Amino acid sequence: MALLPLLVALSAPAAAQQVESMLPVMDDLGTLITKLEGDGFQITDMTLGIAFEGAAPTVVPVPVGQDDNVMMVAVGDKDRIEDLDLLVYDDRGQLVGQDDMTDNTPIVGFQALRSGLYEAQIVVARSKAEYSGGFFSMVTSYPIGQMPISTASTWQIARTAVELLELEGYQVYHGEWETVMEEGAAGFLLPLEAGRLCRAVAVGSPERAKKVRLHVVDGYDQAIGEGEHDGIYSVVDFFSTGDPNTMFVVQASKLKRKITDTHAVVIVACK
């Protein structure tokens, strides 16, 4: 389902704004990152998105390794959401954990019996009276016996990207973490309303990456937009086609010495 029509429901009719800011959720995400990394957790996945009360859950696919002690934490938009739930299913569709307590920060911990692509479901159990949903962030992590590879500086740059996009009148819809090997690629699907002027920004880790590049392709692997790149930043301006299989692909063309992979965050916004 296209996101733009749904976004209207985030605002009260009498107080609708051209751009609904994701910055409060980004700030909560930064606090969560600091807490997890300070407690010795390695962050392996992050997502920013939108969820709606009474709608189907927002699904976040998360790769998980066998025997990993996984902790997933979601944070709801405190200005719009009063109660956010989190349910996690394994690669066979079996429920492995859930948090449906009445709060805005659900936490699910479990030990993965198998490696595979697990499914986290974000559910808005109750939004504030004047709203029907809001933004959320979700982090996947696991404890390690050493200092984790920090994601804080990448988050800070991504937050700046969100702020600049909003200042230019872009509505930010989605943020996605990708782990990329040198000269490798990773990506995700995101349907967008047809005919919109959109901008996607990829930000690589300043500690690990030298050059990243972002591509936007349709379901036939045809290029919709090619990223201009300058070091760890890559920006794609494009008109959305409405293709439900629109994919955002980030490549790590060059990493720092003795580094074999990097994390990157991709932010997607449209006018």
Q: What is the mean pLDDT of the chain?
A: 91
With 80 as the cut, is the pLDDT of residue 179 above it? Answer: yes
Mean pLDDT value across residues 235-263:
93
CATH 2.60.120.380 range(s) for the chain read 18-143, 152-270
How buried is residue 106: exposed, middle or buried, by Cβ count under 10 Å (0-12/13-18/19+)? buried
pLDDT in tens, 13-46: 334 447 899 999 999 999 999 999 999 999 999 9
* CB half-sphere exposure, 29, CA atoms < 13 A: 29
More confident residue, 187 or 7: 187
What share of the chain in percent tops pLDDT 90? 85
Q: Which CATH architecture has domain 152-270?
A: Sandwich (2.60)
- Predicted local distance difference test score (pLDDT) of residue 1: 37
Q: Under a CB-based contact definition with an 8 Å cutoff, are residues 262 and 208 in contact?
A: yes
Confidence of residue 229 (pLDDT cuts 50, 70, 90): low
Quote the Cα angle for 139-143-146, to 5°: 120
Q: Which of 33-37, 41-45, 222-226, 267-271 has the lowest mean pLDDT?
A: 222-226
In terms of pTM, does the model score above 0.75?
yes
Mean pLDDT value across residues 127-136:
92
- Predicted local distance difference test score (pLDDT) of residue 54: 94
With 80 as the cut, is the pLDDT of residue 165 above it? Answer: yes
Q: Does domain 18-143 have CATH number 2.60.120.380?
A: yes
Q: Under a CB-based contact definition with an 8 Å cutoff, are residues 139 and 46 in contact?
A: yes
Helix (H, G, I), strand (E, B) or coil at 23: helix
With 80 as the cut, is the pLDDT of residue 233 above it? Answer: yes
* CB half-sphere exposure, 213, CA atoms < 13 A: 13
Q: Under a CB-based contact definition with an 8 Å cutoff, are residues 263 and 159 in contact?
A: no
For residue 268, the tally of other CB atoms under 10 A from its CB is 26
